[in-house]
Structures are given as structure tokens and as C-alpha cells.
Amino acid sequence: MSTTNNTILTPLKTLSVKFLALVVVLGIAALVMLEAIVHQLQHGLAVTDLASWGTQEGVTWGIYIGTFEWFAGMAVGALAAVGYIRYNELTRYDIIARIGELWALISGLSAAYLIVIDLGRPDRVLNILTAWFVTVQYSPLAWDVTFVTALLVMTSAMLILSLRRDFSEMDLNKLPVYTALLGELLTLGFRPEEREKLDSMLRWLGLALLILAFTGGMVPGWLLGVVGAQAGWYGGIAGIAFLSAGLMSGVAVLAITAGVLRYLYGMEEALPEEVFVGLGKALTLFGFVYLVVQFNNLLPSIFPMAPLAESRVGEAMLYGHFATDFWLAMGAVAIPMLILAVFRERMLAGGVGLAVVSVVMLWGVWVKSQLTVIEPLMYSSGLPYEVGTYVPTLVEWVITIGSILVAILLFSIATKLVPMGRLLDDTASTEEVRN
Amino acid sequence: MNASDPPDDIDSEAWEAWATEVVDGTGFDVELGVGLARDAQRVARGEMTEAEYQAKYHEDVLDEFGVDDRPTAPEPQKADGSPLPGVPGTGNGKRSRRSMLKTAGAIGLGTLGLSAAQQSTRTVAAQSGDGDSESDVQMGMAINTDRCIACLQCMDACNEENGNPAESLWMAVLRYQEDDYTDNEEFLTRPCQHCSDAPCETACPTNARYTREEDGIVLTDYDQCTGCRYCEVSCPYGVNYMEWAEPGGGDFEADRDVDGVTAAGSAPQGTMGKCTFCAHRQVSDDESLQGTTACEDVCPVDAIHFGDMNDEESAPRQHLANDTGGQPTYRLLEDKGTEPNIVYVGNEPSRTATQTDGPTGENEFDLVRERHGRREIEIGSHEDDD
Ligand code: SF4
Ligand code: SF4
């Protein structure tokens, strides 16, 4: 069987010491995180630095929620990328779509469990579901649960269906035994006539994902955007601001993953340079849009005609208490974006450069996410309260960084379980493949 | 005659007599009051539009009260609008953005075939025609900050009464200054405002935050609350106190049960607490406790007046009618649209008011501002940020 991109199966078929070492290291990180979670469950949220805003002069939502917003955005961005690729049947980007399906699922799950970790009574998370029929009419948190659930369900459907198609085109006997088993399971009852139907299903599901990303995808932004009590959250641009951050971080995480895979597994054929050019262009555009939206959101607040509450928040961000973090975050998006725009060819060759700038951009979005969440709570307005303080504790850091490392761990394991895309040659008849 | 129990037929003589008696008690123009009340009923029944109602009496109302502050006023009222004597018969069937949203929701539920009884908030029950359970009682307070001497006894009494830990200041007296030119220190006595249009309820994803039908008190169902703190971020007043750790406060001696819901006294770990208007007292078998709160009882200068805001004989309404001493009255952050049920007498803190430097006095009562386990707060440590 001569294929043009059979390097796509390399991650599946190899198992290097380096990989095992990575899994061990990430596994240890996961255990440390677990310990921190258990610690928090035992002692309650008192182990964090969160405190009520008002007389306790703290912030009641901290880096768990900031990281939730970051992961949720990444999920939305990955979802949009998958939808776009599948709907337009961009075969060359097939591998990117698979990476996107996995990341949408993993970051969606990460966002979901971070919310649970942030609850004072995580054991009661089901109350949110039992009250759902009533609360969904007005509680944005209930909308959020609805959206994240929809995202997880639809992404899973996309992953399962696209894997069914991809496995149907492969010789399962040549795959590692567990992958073959998974393939058997997912291609259960597959008939060649189904191919066409599957193709069109993927296409329309792609459209559905796109629509979900651009509509429901704004809900985590509205979670903050509808809160009239908090200047700096409230406003009509919150959904767009969240979406723009999501699109950028979604593409960034795909670019990082693609770059790393290509570098580690020599997947030059499967991940040709033009894929990186495409990703690089998307990242440049989304980075630009992100910056425009962020400043659009902020600048009016420091204008002399702005309401006092808004201006306190805006000023703290632009040249007050948070200025260093804010400008670092903006720089972390702006500079890579400019580099990408100016040195496109050199940056994109090989994918490593793109991966590096993507990491920086993701970090920038993460920092800005934190600022967005905590800042208005710190600079509360209305009643004469003091400005709050917030210094995340070790537990909070361990759980937050742990959640990122666990996401990487999950993805790494996934690369050994499922093929990263489909084989692109004209496969012999499916019959042959099935044997 | 019971003010909350008018005869049904607004054209009957019995109604006329009832309304006359009620309006008479207010000392305002009886004819106007009765006319207002009757037509308000027509508006409520949909026989008259709000615009017609507004126009018909505008001049007369202005003459009588100096300001036309009726809820049907087409234009937003200024933030310090004086509390108008309640128009008899309109009760507290308030209309508002959020209640409209909830009404829409209730209609949506109907089409889904779900029972509106699942709705927890009184607003919905009232708006969806469930009139029998609707009550005209709306507990609230008149707080005279002009009298307040910042002795903080209300804060201490509140924590004692509810068994709260030292850091959960359901009642808090804020000390603030308006400007740098004078050293005038002013005080703001700040419990939960028990809003009629409470954003904390709209936010709550578990329906734990609810308004008690009988008296309009906003409570938290401690058995439902999942500790997400969305109510806290959506309340503009900063009155919510999450119990971050096992509450190390005193004992709460009364029954936590309020009509079958665990909602009185200090909040258990991981759930949200806030002022309950001493809900356990309101449902107490001991009649002498009903209609009282711990803070009101203890205040040495009689600054706090608790009672039914819809009853002109109540302590807060009497205070507002007779004892303001010419001081302005206002509701806190009225522009937020929360329809708070605390009416203040005194100067309203401006948006630029800042907390005064120096000790705030809590430690005299073993109360603290910093959350247990968190490092200490340095008062005035953020001056440079503003
Ligand atoms: S003051 Fe805050 S907590 Fe109290 S009812 Fe109003 S919004 Fe809710
Ligand atoms: S903290 Fe409790 S009462 Fe507040 S919104 Fe969350 S579940 Fe509702």
C-alpha cells in the first residue's frame, strides 16, 4: 500500500523512551494536582486566597475561573477550526481537524472540571442540573453548563464519526492492538455504501460545530458580560471579546500541537508546510482581531466621559496596579503577531517557530483572562469599600498549572490511541482494508 | 381593617370605605388617593393602560406630593426620589425588567408542560397569576444613618444572633469620607438590601437564592446552594459572605428551618450566607420576636427600623413619615434597578466616597474584616491605585 502521508501513523506505531519519560513526568504532575484537590476538598476553599469582595477585601473568583475562561475559549476556537475544516472538506488539514477534535474535547472537559473545583460544595454540582429547567431561563451559569455540555456532546459525535470513517480506510491489522480494537469498535457494522453518507454527515456536523462556536461560543463571555454589578465585565462586547480570545487560542493550540508532532515524528509529508502557512495566517488574523477587540473594550473606559466605575477598572489595567501584567499580556500577543506578519516564510518553515510564538500568545491570553476575571472584583464600585487584594496560594497554582499539564498528558496519550488523521491515498476497496 | 386584604370589587361601597380608611391614615388627599388606588387596580387588571394612568393623575400627584414617583412613570426617576406612601391595592406586584424576563420564562415553561410551581421566586408566582399565594407584605428597613454613631453594636448583635464567624459581617457599618477637604466621617449601615428585583436570584444556577413569599425576604436555601458565588458577583452591594472554612462562629440557637427550607442562621461551610432579616425570628412561635431583628433591637440611637414597607403603620414607614428630621431619603445604588427594600435617611455616599483611613473598629467586638487564613489587610494600602 503506497500512501502519500503514512507518516500520519508514526505516533501510533512508535513508543520512545522520551515519550514514556514525558508521560511519567506529566503523570507525577497529575498526582501532585490530585493531592492539592484532595487537600482543598478536605479544608474547603479556605486553602485558596479567595475572599468575599466588600469588607473582606478580596476577590471571590480567582484563577480557577480565569483558567476556566481560557480553556473554554480554547475549546471554542478548536471547535470552530474543526467545523471549518470539516465543512469545507479541506483534506490537507485533516490532521488539524483531528487534533482540533481532541483539543476541543480535552479543553472542554478541563473547563468543566475547573468549575466544579471552584465550587464551595462540589458534591452538589448536580443541583445545577436538577434546577436546570427553571434556572436556564435566567441564570447565565445555567446557560454555560448547557453550552459546555453541547460542546462536549457535539465534539464527541464529530470525533466518533470521523474516526469511524478514518478507521474504515485503514488496515486495522497494521495498527497496534489497542488502536485496532478501538477501530473494530468504531467501525462496527460499517458497510462501504455508508462512506458517502458519512462524508456528508461530517460535512454538516462541521457546519453545526461552526454555528455552535459562533453563537453558543459567546456564552462563557456573557457569564461575565451580563453582570451589571461589575464594571469592566458588563457590556455588549463581552461575548465577542471572549470569542476572539477563543479563536486565537484555539488556533494557537492546534499550531503548537502540529509543530511538535511534526518535529518529533518527522511528519513532513502529513504536515506539509502549507498547513503551517494556513495556520500562521489564521493566527496572525485572529491575533490582530483579538487586540482590536480588547482595546475596543478598554479604551472607552479611560476616556474622561466614561462612568467612574468603568474608568477605575480601565485605568488600573492600562496604567495602574495591573499595567505590567496587562501590557506583558498584550505584548505577548502583539509581538508574535507582528513577527508572523513580517517574517512569515522564515517563521513558518518547519512549524517550530510557529509553535514557539503560539505558546507565547497562549500565555498572553491566559494572563489577560485572569485580569478580566479578578480586576473588577478588586476594584469594586458603588459603595465605599477598599480595593481588594488577591495572591493565589500554592494550592491554587498547583491545581491551575496541573490542569494544563493534565490536558497535555491526555493529549499525549490520545496520540498513541487514535490515528491523527486519515490515509490520503486512493485506498483499495474497503473490503481489502477490512481483511 | 386589614390593609392587606381589600374587597375584590373596586366599584363596591365596601371597597370605597376600605380605601378611604387606608388613605385617610396617610394624611394625604383622600379623594386623590382613592382614585389612584382604584385606577391602579384597573391597570393591574389590564382595563387601563399605564400611560393613561400616568397622565390622568400627573398634575394632581405633583400638587399633592411635589413629585410624581409612581412606578408607571415613563421616565427614570432620580436616584434620591423620596419613598412615596404606597398606593393601597397595588400591593407589591412590581413590574421590572427581571420579573418580565421571568414571566417570559414562566410562559415558556407552560409550553413545555412544566409546572410553574417549580418556580421558586415570588415574582414569578405573582406574575403568572398565582394570586392566592401572593402577599402584600414586603419587609424592609428604614435606616437613619444621620443618627448612626458607628458604635458597631448592630454588627456584633447580628453575628451573635446568627452564630456567624467574626469575618462574616452580614451587617457592616462602613466609615467613609466624601472628600479630602473636610474630615467629616460618615457612616453607612449596610445589611442585605432584600431587593425586590434581586440580581442574586437571577444569577443563581441552583435556585438556592429565593424570595420568601410571605414577606419578601431574600434567603438562601443552604441545602441547595452549591457555593458558586455567582450571586455574590452579581450583587452590587457586596453583602454576600461565602463560608470559606468550617464556620468557627458561635452557636445558632434558633431553628434553621424557614417553611421547610434550611435558610436561617449562619451558612454552613461552602455555602453562601448573608443577612436574612433574622428569618428565624419572623417564623418564630414567639410573637414578640416576629417583626424584629437583632440589629434593630440593639441600636442605641434607634437608627434601624424594621417592618413591612407596604404598611404605613409600620416602624420604617412611620419613621420615614415623621422622623426624618428633614434629612434626605434614598435607596442605595437605585440606578442598578435592584429595587432595594432598605430606605436610608441621611446623606447618600457618592461614588467617589472613600473608606476612611485608620481602624474601623470591628476588633473591639472580636469582629474582623480579613478572611480567616488570609494575610491581614492593611487599611488604606491601595491609596496609590486610585
Ligand atoms: S442586596 Fe444583594 S444579596 Fe441582597 S437581595 Fe439585593 S442583590 Fe441579593
Ligand atoms: S453561591 Fe449558592 S446561592 Fe449563590 S448563586 Fe451559587 S448556588 Fe446560588
Closest CA to A228 of B235, B208, B207: B235
Number of H helices, E strands in chain A: 18, 0
Q: B159, B260 in Cβ contact below 8 A? A: no
Instruction: Determine phi and psi for B316, rounding to 5 degrees.
Output: -65, -40
Q: Which amino acid is at B322?
A: N
- Quick check: is B81 in a domain? no
Q: Out of A270-284, B8-22, B273-287, which region has the weakest mean confidence (pLDDT)? A: B8-22
- Find the CB nearest B239 among A44, A54, A131: A54
Nearest CA to ligand 2 atom 2: B225
- Quick check: is B57 in a domain? no
- Band (pLDDT 50/70/90 cuts) for residue B27 is low
- Quick check: is B202 in a domain? yes
- Band (pLDDT 50/70/90 cuts) for residue A2 is very low
Q: What is the pLDDT of residue A98?
A: 96
- Quick check: is B313 in a domain? yes
Q: What is the pLDDT of residue B247?
A: 77
- Quick check: is B352 in a domain? yes
Closest CA to B216 of B194, B233, B199: B194
**pLDDT of A409 above 80:** yes
CA distance A19 to B149: 69
Q: What is the pLDDT of residue B249?
A: 66
**Ligand 2 atom nearest residue B220's Cα:** 3
Q: A390, A374 in Cβ contact below 8 A? A: yes
Write out chain B residues lying below 8 Å of A61, CB-based.
229, 233
Report the residue among B94, B195, B202, B331 best suited for mutation to probe ligand 1: largest number of ligand atoms under 8 A from its CB.
B195
Higher pLDDT, B51 or B209: B209
**pLDDT of B33 above 80:** no
Q: What is the mean pLDDT of residues B351-361?
A: 84
Instruction: Give Cα A428 distance to the centre of its chain.
Output: 37
Q: What is the mean pLDDT of residues A373-387?
A: 92
* Tens-place pLDDT, residues A117-149: 999 999 999 999 999 999 999 999 999 999 999
Cβ A384–B174 below 8 Å, yes or no? yes
Cβ A124–B224 below 8 Å, yes or no? yes
The CATH number that applies at residue A18 is 1.20.1630.10
- Find the CB nearest B371 among A51, A141, A145: A51
Give ipTM to 2 decimals: 0.91
Domain count, chain A: 1
Domain count, chain B: 1
Q: What is the pLDDT of residue B115?
A: 34
- Quick check: is B70 in a domain? no
Most A-contacting residue of B272, B371, B375, B378 (CB-CB within 10 A), to test interface? B371
**Ligand 2 atom nearest residue A120's Cα:** 1
Cβ A133–B102 below 8 Å, yes or no? no
DSSP sequence for A273-292: HHHHHHHHHHHHHHHHHHHH
- Quick check: is B274 in a domain? yes
Residue A51: which region, alpha, beta or left (left: phi > 0; alpha: psi -120 to 50)?
A: beta
The CATH number that applies at residue B246 is 3.30.70.20
**Quick count: other Cβ atoms within 10 Å of Cβ B58?**
13
- Find the CB nearest B204 among A48, A139, A309: A139
* End-to-end C-alpha distance for chain A, whole angstroms: 13
Nearest residue on chain B to A51, alpha-carbon basis: B371
**pLDDT of A421 above 80:** yes
CA distance B144 to B327: 9
Closest CA to A166 of A207, A201, A198: A198
Higher pLDDT, B13 or A205: A205
Write out chain A residues lying below 8 Å of B369, CB-based.
55-57
Q: What is the pLDDT of residue A122?
A: 95
Nearest chain B CA: its distance from A9 CA (Å): 44
- Quick check: is B230 in a domain? yes
The three cell numbers of residue A43 are 479544608
- Torsion over CA: B224, B229, B233, B235 (sign): positive
Q: What is the mean pLDDT of residues B7-21?
A: 77
Give the structural domain span for B289: 139-372
Give the structural domain span for A154: 3-434
The three cell numbers of residue A185 are 469498535
Most A-contacting residue of B152, B207, B275 (CB-CB within 10 A), to test interface? B207
Nearest chain A CA: its distance from B102 CA (Å): 7
